[in-house]
Structure 1
Amino acid sequence: MAVTRDPRRDDKSVFPDPVYKETVLRPLFDGAKTYHVDGFRRIDRAHLVMLAETGILDRSQATAIAHALEAIDAEIDVSTLTYTGEVEDFFFLIEKELKRRLGPDLAGRLHTARSRNDIDHTLFKLGLKERVDELLAKARRLTNALIQVAAREEGTLIVAYTHGQPAQPTTFGHYLGAVTEVLLRDIQRLAAAREIVDQSPMGAAAITTSGFPIDRDRMAELLGFAKPLQNSYSCIAAVDYVTSVYGAIELMFLHLGRPIQDLQFWTSFEVGQVYVPNAFVQISSIMPQKRNPVPIEHLRHLASQTFGRARTMLDVMHNTPFTDMNDSEGETQGMGYEAFISAGRVLDLLTALVAEIRIDEARVRDNIRRSCITVTELADSLVRREGLSFREAHEIAAAVARAVVAMQGDLASDGYAAFVSAFERAAGRTATIDEAAFAEMVSPDHFVAVRNRLGGPAPEALRAALNVCRRHLAALEEQASAIAGREAAASAELQTQFRALMGEA
């Protein structure tokens, strides 16, 4: 008779397997050691205060645990720790140290009504909030720089391009105002994502909360969260706090990459409408005549790296089960933090560069002259002053532009004869516009000045738009200040209540 043997009875292996230790457990431990030590400390202390306040632990138990936690902080230099495999992870290392000081019964009481599930997501949210706040502060500084430079350059002409070709004149201030508006929307998206992060999972325990009379609101308050996340299943299963943050970062750096690419194009020798000062220029090692504005290239590739890292976080979350899972946890969080590092570098460098670059006004006027890009206003003026349909006016303006480009001339000084001829052919009469009026009509300064409608480049319209941006930025600064104040108060409250458990005034 054959006997079926249970292989589990013959399993003499000891956890952890050496390969598993090196490929999984050590990196996780090192990640926790690098990123989340302060979060663990705050969670342990807040949970202990809550357990004491609700009566789940009596005062003497809570006091003993508080003193042990304080001793662990004082005696162990976490930065020097090396993972040995004696414990599974950083959480169990702290529990082991508590047991050594208090014994297994009392030490084990700190874990009442919680799980590594709710602890982990709370850790990750604490880490994300800190990084999002720093990134938002840098983005607001860039916004402020953009507004200041836009105001400074409100009358500085540039060539606006569409489809890679000269299109119309506008001002550098008008262009930067457009970049500012997009950045403000990106900041608002990231701030909205932070509101999703700012909901505490603590108290969800493994997945269904606890039979103990825990106070989830108090835990949220002590840890500086705006409120608890309502549904306990969602606390450990929902990763929209991750996807919302990295989705917002992805969009911000996709959008910033576009004006960065414009700067690269505008600094080319052939276009040359942006001058980058020497402090931001590197010289070729072999070609001494070359001025290479390489910071713009670094901005471009770092923005792309940030976009790619943020996109990777979304890809990791794709097709994962709606439950607790390692896919969204330690190593993934650490990988995501790299996006914040490259993002911060882009924002800092772009803030510095924007303040220093200048427009080469002579080059801009020459490019405007050669490209006839003010001719749109000629068509518009013919409608207003001569009563033509826009299509008739457009055909006349097109004929004038072709003639001027063919002679490589200047629209204002060389285009009038072509205009008179084209007008008479199209309208069957003589135009009432004389040569001086024609020259004024096709000047780039006039082109900008008459576009004083909402959102236009004329100084009055641009100033109004920038004032809206200033108000929006001020509201974002006020919101950030209020959040920082609330979280500072929470930190102080946690410190006070923990010290009280230790018997300190």
Structure 2
Amino acid sequence: MVAHNPPHDSSVFPDPVYKDTVLGPLFDGARDHFASDFQRIDRAHLIMLCEQGILSQSQASQIAAALQAIETEIDPATLTYTGEVEDFFFLIEKELKARLGADLGGRLHTARSRNDIDHTLFKLQLRRRITSLLGQVLDLIDSAIIKADAQKETLIVAYTHGQPAQPTSFAHYLSAMIEVLLRDAKRLFDALATVNLSPMGAAAITTSGFDIDRHRMAELLGFDAPLRNSYGCIAAIDYVSGTYGALELLFLHLGRPIQDFQFWSSFEVGQLYVPNALVQISSIMPQKRNPVPIEHMRLLASQTFGRARAMIEIMHNTPFTDMNDSEGETQAFGYQAFATASRVIALMTSFVSAIRINEDRVAENIRKSCITITELADDLVRNEGLSFREAHEIAAHVAKTIVAQNGDLVTDGYAPFCKVFADSTGRETAMDAKRFATVVSAAHFVAVRDRFGGPGETAIADAITSYQDDLAALRAALAKANNDAAQADILLQTKFNALLGASA
């Protein structure tokens, strides 16, 4: 049998191209995004090892002092990747060994791996970004509720298939938007609940033979609890896909009212007035009022949607294990989605507060489109005993007649109505001209639709109260999440300071 010996390898790590294309960018990403969370994890792990007796008080105190010195002496922002060590983690370990010696400096890494450290870093970052964005989303909801409450009697034309359909109130339209936003906010809270489970203690895959306390690590880092299965801690990426799935849906949904705002503000429709502070002029056409913030909202919403979708695509068809596809560079790519998301939400919050309905244009569009005619058909069913199909045909004939003569249904519709009613039924209508004018008015149309979920006065007031209650509950949940994280930071600092004091 012939022995096959490996060829002599005189290469030295890192290969310069690998250094420039992979290791350097990864180091930069860790430096820019994760340096402070590396410190939190190191501190928490050190405290836990000491409390569990895996490190002595003396050992833990010396390591704490060295960590403090590294944090004081080395500004991560000034670091550049040299290739002397593999990554940011090994740089910190190298610094520890330089201060404490190889034996003591290497003990901090007992019972952990870069695998559980990495996913903990990613979760700490996502938790911060989700809670920040949630605060903005709740502010947008609040802005929309305030606007809706003030616009309960303001009429608009509601469109279906791009055509005038029925009158409703601006409050009713905004309420539909608010309900979607509330559901989207709850999806972000669901994503946060998955993010807020600690991977620490999973080590590489299977936890550790050391008597570690995973619950204590979770507490010190502000997580709700440890994620139970250690394989899942380093392999499951549903915390990433859940987060960006929720983000994707939020901006898919926001894009739809943004499109409406663009349409409503067009010259031909003109039912939405955008104030001068949010309008740009043409460089050549003096008459132009361009509400370009709407276009920027649409653009940025699409960018956010695309980046969130890309995050999910990156995870597609990857093995169920710890691997780089879901790690540093992918995480940094996803943060761009949060950056554009924040810009959209901030702009939309300001926009919703500033806009108003052009009531004259709404009245004119209602007049030209005869969109109250459905209520005439309904009234004929209720008060003339007709079937809806017969009433619908009578109402349709009246609407066609008024539109053809560019008339006003309220003032011009009664005579053609009386004629088509008599021709269709063989009798005279019991409805007089005054009642006809009321039945086909936009205000009446909205007022009689005072059903659960409708635009009527009681229905919309009840809806707004429920939204205020939902918003208050979500604000309380967000405040608790932020407070829990802040209290964990205080606990971590207190315990770390105790170790520092013991080394003095």
Give TM-score scaled by structure 1 length.
0.99
2:230 corresponds to 1:227: no
Distance of aligned partners of 1:396 and 1:288 in 2 relative to their CA distance in 1, 3 Å threshold? same
Matching residue's letter, 1:53: E
Give TM-score scaled by structure 2 length.
0.99
For 1:379 and 1:50, the matched residues in 2 are separated by 74
- RMSD (Å), alpha carbons: 1.1
Aligned partner (choices 370, 373, 393) of residue 371 of structure 2? 373
2:442 maps to what in 1? Answer: 444
Q: Which piece of structure 1 moves more, 480-489 or 47-56? A: 480-489
Q: Which runs of 5+ in 1 are unaligned?
A: none
Within-5 A mapping of 1:286-365:
286-365=284-363
For 1:387 and 1:373, the matched residues in 2 are separated by 23
- SS of aligned partner of 1:402: helix
1:17 maps to what in 2? Answer: 15
1:197 maps to what in 2? Answer: 195
Matching residue's letter, 1:296: I
For 1:488 and 1:82, the matched residues in 2 are separated by 31
For 2:209 and 2:4, the matched residues in 1 are separated by 43
For 1:358 and 1:337, the matched residues in 2 are separated by 34
- SS of aligned partner of 2:493: helix
Matching residue's letter, 1:447: F
2:204 corresponds to 1:206: yes
1:279 maps to what in 2? Answer: 277
For 1:425 and 1:188, the matched residues in 2 are separated by 56
2:6 corresponds to 1:6: yes
For 1:450 and 1:407, the matched residues in 2 are separated by 28
Shift of 1:176: 0.3
Matching residue's letter, 2:314: V
- SS of aligned partner of 1:268: coil
1:113 maps to what in 2? Answer: 111
Aligned partner (choices 48, 57, 75) of residue 59 of structure 1? 57
For 2:294 and 2:477, the matched residues in 1 are separated by 32
Matching residue's letter, 2:313: D
1:149 maps to what in 2? Answer: 147
Shift of 1:2: 8.7
Shift of 1:109: 0.3
For 1:237 and 1:215, the matched residues in 2 are separated by 21
For 1:96 and 1:463, the matched residues in 2 are separated by 64
Shift of 1:428: 1.4
Aligned partner (choices 428, 431, 434) of residue 432 of structure 2? 434
2:75 corresponds to 1:77: yes
2:412 corresponds to 1:409: no
2:260 corresponds to 1:262: yes
For 2:386 and 2:5, the matched residues in 1 are separated by 98
For 1:229 and 1:83, the matched residues in 2 are separated by 33
Q: Which runs of 5+ in 2 are unaligned?
A: none
* Count of matched residue positions in the alignment of Structure 1 and Structure 2: 503
2:215 corresponds to 1:217: yes
Within-5 A mapping of 1:449-468:
449-468=447-466
Matching residue's letter, 2:182: L
For 2:398 and 2:91, the matched residues in 1 are separated by 81
Matching residue's letter, 2:15: D
Within-5 A mapping of 1:34-49:
34-49=32-47
Deviations 1:88-131 (A, max 9, x none): 10000000000100001001000000000000000000000000
- SS of aligned partner of 1:167: strand
2:421 corresponds to 1:396: no
1:243 maps to what in 2? Answer: 241
Matching residue's letter, 1:116: R
Deviations 1:9-67 (A, max 9, x none): x1111000000000000000000011001110000000000000000000100000000
- SS of aligned partner of 1:471: helix
For 1:393 and 1:304, the matched residues in 2 are separated by 45
Deviations 1:312-343 (A, max 9, x none): 00000000000000000000000000000000
- SS of aligned partner of 1:166: strand
Percent of residue pairs bearing the same amino acid type:
66
- SS of aligned partner of 2:257: helix
For 1:210 and 1:286, the matched residues in 2 are separated by 71
Shift of 1:487: 1.5
Deviations 1:392-437 (A, max 9, x none): 1101000000100110100011111110011112211100001111
Shift of 1:6: 2.1
Matching residue's letter, 1:40: F
Matching residue's letter, 2:344: V
2:421 maps to what in 1? Answer: 423
For 2:430 and 2:89, the matched residues in 1 are separated by 86
- SS of aligned partner of 1:283: coil
1:91 maps to what in 2? Answer: 89
